[in-house]
Amino acid sequence: VAGSLVFVALVFIAGALGLRLLRVAPLPAKDQSANRSPMSKPDSVLLPASETAAYVKYYLANPEIPVQSWQPSDADLKGLEANLPQVSNLKENGTGPGRHIDHPNEYFRQYLPIVQSGRRQIFVNAFCREERDYSDEWRQRLHIVYDGGKCYWQAFYDPLTQKFSNLLINGVA
């Protein structure tokens, strides 16, 4: 009986030590992408076709020019994202020539596919992340601001040539 009590005690101690060792053993390294919150949302969005009317109203110099929407492919949108750094090389050709955007990927971006004068393009409307905590409304409606300087900019992306053009940076009020 005494021998079996010693055996049970040793098994209990060994089990307790084994569990303790398991608790303090380091966890295997995790993939960095696993650290991203499953609830995090991308910094860009493809706007619904219904927002084409807002584009015509607020951004088109001549609202008589017919503008339609179209459905870009995943490859078109991936091409836009891959070529986004090109925006840094553009100089504004609006009211403040020579202004440029240093890090276009650091902005929230709205993508609106339009057909204008027979050309399929994607209108890019971008705004600062730091400004305030935006609700998800910007994911459904074109975000329009008339001033704000370099915190707001627009450009066009041509999926056929994979080039950006017509950079416009908001003025400062």
* Residues belonging to the chain: 173
The Cβ-side half-sphere exposure at 129, using a 13 Å CA radius, reads 11
Residue 137's pLDDT is what?
A: 85
Per residue in 99-128, pLDDT tens? 899 999 999 999 999 999 999 999 999 999
Phi, psi values for residue 128, rounded to 5°: -60, 145
What is the rounded average pLDDT of the residues 37-42? Answer: 58
pLDDT: which is higher, 165 or 19: 165
Give percent above pLDDT 90 in the chain: 54
Question: How confident is the model over 46-73, as a mean pLDDT?
Answer: 93
CA separation (Å) from 143 to 13, 67, 70, 146, 147?
Answer: 65, 19, 20, 10, 12
According to DSSP, residue 19 is labeled H
In degrees and rounded to multiples of 5, residue 136 shows phi and psi of: -80, 5
